[in-house]
Every structure is written in structure tokens, then in C-alpha cells.
């Protein structure tokens, strides 16, 4: 079977461009493992939520932002105790992530898979991811785990930095 020069020329140009268009992008910043998609529920006007999502993207997470939800119901759905609530709630790997939790703690949660509903940074501590200010300074804050009954435990601690 003979292939015409026109068909052959068309294939030469189409096949490489098709192959290029279906190649997936490599994980961010040299991440070797594949991280699950993170769904973040937040108010679209919240600036610190956007900064926190950028922190997660830089750590290799793929983010799907959801706005326009009744945040009270979202927090209820993920069993986030009232005392731990913050400005945004995320779901990743079956866990709730509440507030300005550092990416390293989310990765640890996914690696260890403890029997908890999620982890949280209550409030909005200055210097936590998304709440950066004045260089490298931060308030002391804890990352707390919580279960479906509202029981909490310290998951990790971050000391204050004055400089």
C-alpha cells in the first residue's frame, strides 16, 4: 500500500503535536510521589485562603477551589469541631484540613493515615502558611488532629519566631 506524500506530510506534523498535547506535566518541585487532589472550600473574597492554596500548590498538591458553599454546612460535613474552625476547609485523601495547616503536616497525615477525621490550625495565627507577615516572623501555633466525636490531640507544634 502506497501512502501519498500529502498524507505522509500531514502525519509527520500531526503525530508529534498530538503526542506532545497528551503528555502530563511532571509533579511540582521535584515531588516523586503523586499527591491526591485537594478540594478547598472558601469564600472567594478571602485573600489568605488564596495564599494558603498557593502554599499547597508549591508543595505539589493539585487544588480544586470551591466557592459559594455554606461554610457552616461544609464544616459540619467534615466533622470540624467549632473550637477548631478557621476561614477555609479542605478535603484530601478522605481527611478534612481546617485552616492554615502547613503542607508538611498534610503530607505526614497522608503518609501515616491515622484514624482521625482531619487536622486543623484553629484561628488564623500570624506566620502560618497563608498568614505570612513581616519576613519570617510567626506566632506559636499547634496543628491539632480531631476525630468524628470532636476529640483533639496535638499533631505538631510550631514555635514562635521573632525574626
Q: Residue 74 domain-assigned?
A: yes
Question: Does residue 45 belong to any structural domain of this protein?
Answer: yes
Flag whether 4 is in a domain. no
Segments of the chain assigned E as strands: 38-41, 63-66, 89-92, 95-99, 118-121, 141-146, 152-158
Cα-Cα-Cα-Cα torsion 63, 64, 68, 73, nearest 10 degrees, comes to: -80
Does residue 40 contact residue 63 with C-beta atoms inside 8 Å? yes
Sign (positive/negative) of CA torsion 120, 124, 127, 130?
Answer: positive
Per the structure, the complete domain to which residue 145 belongs is given by 34-158
Asked if the structure places residue 25 within a domain, the reply is: no
pLDDT over threshold 80, residue 55: yes
Find the CATH number of the domain harbouring 115.
3.40.30
Does 10 map to a domain?
no
Task: Please determine, for residue 29, whether its predicted confidence score (pLDDT) is greater than 90.
Answer: no
| Tens digits of residue pLDDT in 57-95 | 999 999 999 998 799 999 999 999 999 999 999 999 999
Residue 77 lies in a domain: yes
Q: How many domains are contained in the chain?
A: 1
Specify if 7 maps to a domain.
no
Please, where are the H alpha helices in 59-148? 71-77, 103-112
What global pTM score does this model have?
0.79
14 assigned to some structural domain = no
Share of the chain above pLDDT 70, in %: 80
Amino acid at each position: 500500500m502506497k501512502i501519498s506524500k500529502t498524507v505522509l506530510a500531514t502525519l509527520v506534523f500531526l503525530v508529534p503535536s498530538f503526542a506532545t498535547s497528551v503528555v502530563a506535566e511532571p509533579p511540582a518541585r521535584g515531588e516523586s510521589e503523586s499527591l491526591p487532589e485537594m478540594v478547598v472550600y472558601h469564600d472567594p473574597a478571602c485573600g489568605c485562603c488564596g495564599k494558603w492554596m498557593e502554599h499547597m500548590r508549591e508543595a505539589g498538591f493539585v487544588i480544586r477551589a470551591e466557592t459559594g458553599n455554606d461554610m457552616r454546612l461544609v464544616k459540619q460535613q467534615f466533622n470540624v469541631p467549632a473550637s477548631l474552625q478557621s476561614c477555609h476547609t479542605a478535603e484530601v485523601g478522605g481527611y478534612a484540613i481546617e485552616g492554615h495547616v502547613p503542607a508538611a503536616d498534610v503530607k505526614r497525615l497522608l503518609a501515616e493515615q491515622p484514624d482521625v477525621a482531619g487536622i486543623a490550625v484553629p484561628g488564623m495565627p500570624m506566620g502560618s502558611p497563608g498568614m505570612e507577615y513581616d519576613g519570617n516572623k510567626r506566632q506559636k501555633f499547634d496543628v491539632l488532629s480531631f476525630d468524628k466525636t470532636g476529640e483533639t490531640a496535638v499533631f505538631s507544634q510550631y514555635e514562635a519566631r521573632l525574626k
